[in-house]
Amino acid sequence: MRTIDHFLAGGVTAPAVRTHKVWNPSTGEVQAEVALGDAALLDLAVENAKKVQPAWAATNPQRRARVMFEFKRLVEANKQQLAELLASEHGKVVDDAHGDVQRGLEVI
């Protein structure tokens, strides 16, 4: 079964001690397990955010825009996969999930 791990500081964290089942609401089937974080993992996330924040704050607006455009490009390139993931998470049809992805792109 697929496990959804945490992604921090450019990589996947160590395997979780505890997990929780992820159900597909439209089928009632368990489709994955999600790693449950703890206080130590939260502290690690905050520590990493504090480390990288000064560099991001010092990044000029043009470079920040490039980063966001690349993020948008990646979302656009993976629209189908994202829509399928949303559909399985929320129990909606894929066509409806495509609308959610499109609305997300409008925010980016």
Q: Are 97 and 87 in contact (CB under 8 A)?
A: yes
Residue-by-residue pLDDT tens, the chain, 108 positions: 888 999 988 888 877 789 999 998 888 999 999 999 999 899 999 999 999 999 999 999 999 999 999 999 999 999 999 999 999 888 899 999 999 999 999 999
Domain positions in the chain: 1-58, 59-108
Q: CB count, 10 Å around CB of 97?
A: 21
Output the pLDDT for position 47: 95
Helix and strand element counts for the chain (H, E)? 4, 5
Q: What is the pTM of this model?
A: 0.78
